[in-house]
């Protein structure tokens, strides 16, 4: 039963049923957040893709609207694929999206709201002379998709980029337009990185070097850095790079070429793909949406009648302390879901200890935690030069001198199922610390038709900082943010016992040589936004 399946989330965006993938054209308009998404109205697997549509006043509680665009034209009859919105200074709303034609050629199309006075933007008109762009010379017909939000050039033209590949090099093509109907191809590539393959869902936007606010997509200059993001079709992860945008040369230049797009940093080290940001002019912030797929079997998806959720919208900023990575953080509105909190202060967790935290329910949580290891242990430890990698080093059961320690979420009482989210501090022979941040799915479920990888990456920890962790738990999704969002990990887990009232939360310390002092605040989040079980409410 679709509605009663326990894996359904309470405060993450999901349609009522069927398959969903990429976020499309997010925007804020006349008091409403709009969210469009890749949707299969006919089943719980990818196919027959059209645009779903929902609106919200607070970007958390959603009202589902009719499909915004369906596959009713020759130029999108094989699918109304991913696209982006641009709000023009005069209030017009432009939607550019990829159509897969009747011959499976990828073309770009223009659509706009039928009635700009309708804040819900229910009806959409496809431009009668679509497509507005077809694959250019040298680009294969199936390698041309996902137009970005447009930004202004100093000349006053609108510029967009579209992902593609040339042999095995991922590339970003650039076009200028004044009316969104006719386009001029720039003879250069915004960026190209060998070996990265097809670039899907390119995103390109500025982040302020000084301000905590977000920047409109058209801003450029010394006060901003630019972010380029690509979704690698080959390895299904979203990679970003920080750099500068040279408008004259039409080039994105990565600050550090080793960390160019597709080879360096990732938005998220778990499941998170085809993401897209938008500038939220209501709250002056840049908000990121990412598609979180399933990690159970397709068979299970069909049985439960739905697949995929969206991440909690995340604010994206430059990390002013490191200058070399972004910070991602759940929008503040998610805190309005907090119903009841339990606080635990300075709990000392001994080496080898697992401590059950006395909270009422543990399936819908918002957790804020801080950890400190003993200074003495840190100085004294003889262990150095240990190699620890989240995905290959044995997960949370491999004990080291100074790690792992953290939380078990979605655990049952007898620990037959649990998902550790943890730090693993490693002291190098130079005395420097290295801190992998991981999420271990290997014991998350007794079911055997689910993926059980261990995710993670190193998180930058600066001198004097405590280790900090925020986790959102929502039935089958765990979104974790370390050090204020420097490193993020999203996982999907499918416990069979640790569900509803049986779910628990534990603190653990598997380090051998140090105590861990933990302080946490744990909120139970509002119940059942979508699930129509009384007293749950649905919609806005």
Burial zone of 471 (CB within 10 Å; 0-12 exposed, 13-18 middle, 19+ buried):
buried
Q: How far apart are CA 294 and CA 317, in angstroms?
A: 27
Query: What is the smallest separation between the CB atom of 236 and ligand DQQ, expressed in angstroms?
Result: 8
| Nearer CB in complex with ligand DQQ: 19/506 | 19
SS3 category, 298: helix
68 in contact with ligand DQQ (CB under 6 A): no
Query: What is the smallest separation between the CB atom of 363 and ligand DQQ, expressed in angstroms?
Result: 29
Q: Which residues make Cβ contacts (< 8 Å) with residue 473, sequence separation at least 6?
A: 362, 363, 364, 365, 366, 367, 409, 410
Q: Which residues make Cβ contacts (< 8 Å) with residue 127, sequence separation at least 6?
A: 109, 110, 111, 112, 181
Residues 10-29 that bind ligand DQQ (CB under 6 A): 21-22
Query: What is the smallest separation between the CB atom of 274 and ligand DQQ, expressed in angstroms?
Result: 4
- Mark whether 22 is an active-site residue: yes
| Nearer CB in complex with ligand DQQ: 201/499 | 201
Q: Which residues make Cβ contacts (< 8 Å) with residue 178, sequence separation at least 6?
A: 156, 157, 158
Query: What is the smallest separation between the CB atom of 39 and ligand DQQ, expressed in angstroms?
Result: 9
287 in contact with ligand DQQ (CB under 6 A): no
Question: In the set 12, 145, 304, 470, which binds ligand DQQ (CB under 6 A)?
Answer: 145
Residues 189-228 that bind ligand DQQ (CB under 6 A): 200-201
Q: Provide the phi-psi class of 502: left if phi over 0, else alpha when psi is between -120 and 50, else beta.
A: alpha
Query: What is the smallest separation between the CB atom of 291 and ligand DQQ, expressed in angstroms?
Result: 7
Query: What is the smallest separation between the CB atom of 134 and ligand DQQ, expressed in angstroms?
Result: 16
Question: In the set 14, 38, 468, 525, which binds ligand DQQ (CB under 6 A)?
Answer: 38
Total residues at interface with ligand DQQ (CB under 6 A): 13
Query: What is the smallest separation between the CB atom of 7 and ligand DQQ, expressed in angstroms?
Result: 21
Contact 455, 441 (CB under 8 A): yes
274 in contact with ligand DQQ (CB under 6 A): yes
Output phi, psi for 501, to 5 deg. -65, -15
Q: Which of 22, 76, 238, 280 is catalytic?
A: 22
| Nearer CB in complex with ligand DQQ: 21/476 | 21
Number of residues that make up the chain: 540
| Nearer CB in complex with ligand DQQ: 21/191 | 21
Q: Which residues make Cβ contacts (< 8 Å) with residue 379, sequence separation at least 6?
A: none
Query: What is the smallest separation between the CB atom of 435 and ligand DQQ, expressed in angstroms?
Result: 31
Helix (H) or strand (E) holding 377, with range, is helix 375-380
SS3 category, 334: helix
Contact 388, 426 (CB under 8 A): yes
Q: Closest Cα partner for 388 from 404, 408, 372, 364?
A: 404
82 in contact with ligand DQQ (CB under 6 A): yes
Q: How far apart are CA 191 and CA 226, in angstroms?
A: 12
| Nearer CB in complex with ligand DQQ: 21/220 | 21
| Nearer CB in complex with ligand DQQ: 70/528 | 70
49 in contact with ligand DQQ (CB under 6 A): yes
| Nearer CB in complex with ligand DQQ: 85/390 | 85
Q: For every residue of 441-461, which 3-state class applies, written as one string?
A: CCCCCCCCCCCCCEEEEECCC
x/- letters, 95..134, toward ligand DQQ (CB under 6 A): ---x------------------------------------
The residues pairing with 63 across neighbouring beta strands, listed in sequence order, are 55
x/- letters, 307..346, toward ligand DQQ (CB under 6 A): ----------------------------------------
The token pair that represents 237 in the structure block: 């992860």
229 in contact with ligand DQQ (CB under 6 A): no
Question: In the set 14, 27, 76, 146, which binds ligand DQQ (CB under 6 A)?
Answer: 146
Query: 487-492 and 504-509: which strand pairing?
Result: unpaired
245 in contact with ligand DQQ (CB under 6 A): no
| Nearer CB in complex with ligand DQQ: 272/405 | 272
Positions touching ligand DQQ (CB under 6 A) are 21-22, 38, 49, 81-82, 98, 145-146, 200-201, 231, 274
Q: Which residues have a catalytic role annotated?
A: 22
């Amino acid at each position: 039963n679709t509605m009663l399946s326990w894996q359904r989330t309470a405060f993450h965006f999901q349609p009522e049923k069927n398959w969903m993938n990429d976020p499309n054209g997010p925007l804020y308009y006349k008091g409403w957040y709009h969210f469009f998404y890749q949707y299969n109205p006919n089943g719980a697997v990818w196919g027959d893709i059209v645009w779903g549509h929902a609106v919200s006043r607070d970007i958390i509680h959603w009202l589902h609207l009719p499909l915004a665009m369906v596959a009713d034209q020759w130029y999108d009859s094989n699918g109304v694929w991913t696209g982006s919105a641009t709000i023009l200074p005069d209030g017009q709303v432009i939607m550019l999206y990829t159509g897969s034609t009747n011959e499976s050629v990828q073309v770009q199309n223009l659509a706009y709201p039928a009635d700009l006075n309708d804040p819900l933007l229910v009806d959409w008109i496809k431009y009668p002379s679509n497509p507005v762009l077809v694959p250019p010379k040298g680009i294969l017909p199936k390698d041309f998709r996902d137009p970005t939000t447009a930004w202004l050039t100093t000349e006053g033209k609108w510029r967009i980029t579209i992902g593609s590949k040339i042999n095995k090099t991922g590339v970003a093509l650039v076009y200028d337009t004044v009316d969104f109907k006719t386009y001029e191809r720039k003879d250069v590539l915004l960026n190209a990185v060998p070996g990265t393959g097809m670039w899907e869902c390119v995103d390109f936007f500025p982040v302020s070097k000084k301000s905590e606010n977000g920047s409109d997509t058209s801003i450029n200059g010394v006060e901003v850095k630019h972010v380029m993001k690509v979704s690698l079709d080959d390895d299904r992860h979203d990679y970003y790079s920080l750099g500068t945008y040279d408008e004259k040369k039409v080039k994105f230049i990565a600050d550090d070429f080793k960390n160019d797009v597709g080879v360096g940093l990732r938005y998220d080290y778990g499941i998170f793909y085809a993401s897209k940001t938008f500038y939220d002019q209501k709250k002056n912030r840049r908000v990121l949406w990412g598609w979180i797929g399933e990690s159970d079997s397709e068979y299970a998806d069909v049985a439960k009648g739905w697949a995929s959720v969206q991440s909690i919208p995340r604010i994206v900023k430059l990390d002013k302390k490191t200058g070399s990575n972004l910070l991602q953080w759940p929008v503040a509105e998610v805190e309005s879901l907090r119903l009841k909190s339990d606080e635990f202060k300075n709990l000392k967790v001994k080496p080898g200890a697992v401590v059950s935290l006395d909270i009422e329910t543990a399936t819908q949580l918002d957790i804020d935690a801080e950890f400190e290891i003993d200074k003495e242990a840190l100085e004294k430890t003889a262990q150095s030069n240990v190699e620890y990698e989240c995905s290959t080093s044995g997960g949370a059961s491999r004990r080291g001198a100074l790690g792992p320690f953290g939380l078990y979420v979605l655990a049952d009482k007898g620990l037959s199922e649990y998902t550790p989210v943890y730090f693993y501090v490693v002291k190098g022979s130079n005395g420097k610390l290295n801190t992998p941040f991981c999420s271990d799915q290997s014991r998350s479920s007794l079911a055997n038709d689910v993926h059980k990888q261990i995710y993670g990456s190193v998180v930058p920890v600066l001198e004097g900082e405590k280790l900090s962790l925020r986790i959102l738990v929502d039935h089958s999704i765990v979104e974790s943010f370390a050090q204020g969002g420097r490193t993020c990990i999203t996982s999907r887990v499918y416990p069979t016992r640790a569900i509803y009232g049986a779910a628990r939360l534990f603190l653990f310390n598997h380090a051998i040589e140090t105590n861990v002092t933990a302080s946490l605040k744990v909120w139970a989040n509002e119940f059942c936004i979508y699930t129509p079980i009384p007293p749950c409410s649905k919609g806005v």
